[in-house]
């Protein structure tokens, strides 16, 4: 009898020696296939299935793989481990933004952390965000980096409700002013419109008369 959890889908089998309720397939060679993610792994050492290799041989090879991955070639790591499914990915070209085709996780090749973003708090490319890459700010001073980023995060966390409350008050004030100003403005426009129509009617009923003075020009001529 045994109880193990799939490392990728986190599904647990209750009894490996009896029919398994969750449907994990068990072979006599101790390999287990998870029906959720189709990951085949070794029930004995809980590692990905290593075929004809013994668990001891695989662990030795796995140590060699981890050692090789941590080494640097041409200024970069030989491989970086996906933070979700833990497989090693080697970058040949491109930027630090990696996408694991196995579990669809986006992570940074340089620091190995997954990409996270939260509005108002920044993302992995933000220098002073807690989600930022460690190589973007004081990479060789982790304590200072964490203290500064944590302080900024705490300040934003405290300021966010205040800013939200101020925005809410400003919105309520704008609505209140609108409720008062719009009827007044509409009344003034209506009054002017009615006054204009009344003036037009008066002009049509009583057209204005204009008095033209009679000017006679008297010319006197004197003859010698």
Report how far Cα 129 is from the mean position of its chain's Cα atoms: 13
Q: How many residues can be counted in the chain? A: 224
Query: Catalytic pick from 42, 95, 108, 133?
Result: 95
| Residue 95 falls in the annotated catalytic set | yes
Q: Tell me if residue 99 falls in helix, strand or coil.
A: strand
Strands 72-73 and 25-26: unpaired
- Distance separating the N- and C-terminal Cα atoms of the chain: 154
- Give the pair of three-digit tokens for residue 18: 């009896």
Q: In which element (H, E) is residue 161 found?
A: helix 142-205
CA torsion sign, 116 to 119 to 124 to 129? negative
Residues linked to residue 109 through DSSP beta bridges, in sequence order: none
Radius of gyration of the chain (CA): 41
Taking the C-alpha atoms of residue 101 and residue 80, their distance in angstroms, rounded to an integer, is: 14
195-221 residues labelled b (16+ CB within 10 A) or e (exposed): eeeeeeeeeeeeeeeeeeeeeeeeeee
Question: With contact defined as beta carbons under 8 Å apart, do 174 and 166 qualify?
Answer: no
Q: Which residues participate in catalysis according to the annotation? A: 95
């Amino acid at each position: 009898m045994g109880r193990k959890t799939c490392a990728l889908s986190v599904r647990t089998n209750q009894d490996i020696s009896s029919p398994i309720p969750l449907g994990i397939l068990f072979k006599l060679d101790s390999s287990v296939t998870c029906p959720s993610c189709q990951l085949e792994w070794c029930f004995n050492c809980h590692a990905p299935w290593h075929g004809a290799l013994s668990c001891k041989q695989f662990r030795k090879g796995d140590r060699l793989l981890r050692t090789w991955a941590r080494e640097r070639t041409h200024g970069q790591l030989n491989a970086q481990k996906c933070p979700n499914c833990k497989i090693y990915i080697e970058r040949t070209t491109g930027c630090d933004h990696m996408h694991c085709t196995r579990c669809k996780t986006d992570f940074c090749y340089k620091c190995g952390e997954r990409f996270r973003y939260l509005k108002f708090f920044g993302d992995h490319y933000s220098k002073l965000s807690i989600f930022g890459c460690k190589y973007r700010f004081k990479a060789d001073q982790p304590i200072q980096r964490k203290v500064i980023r944590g302080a900024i995060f705490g300040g934003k966390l405290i300021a966010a409700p205040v800013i939200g409350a101020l925005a809410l008050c400003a919105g309520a004030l704008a609505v209140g002013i609108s409720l008062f100003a719009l009827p007044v403005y509409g009344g003034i426009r209506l009054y002017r419109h009615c006054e204009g129509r009344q003036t037009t009617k008066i002009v049509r009923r009583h057209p204005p008369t204009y008095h033209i003075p009679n000017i006679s020009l008297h010319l006197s001529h004197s003859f010698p």
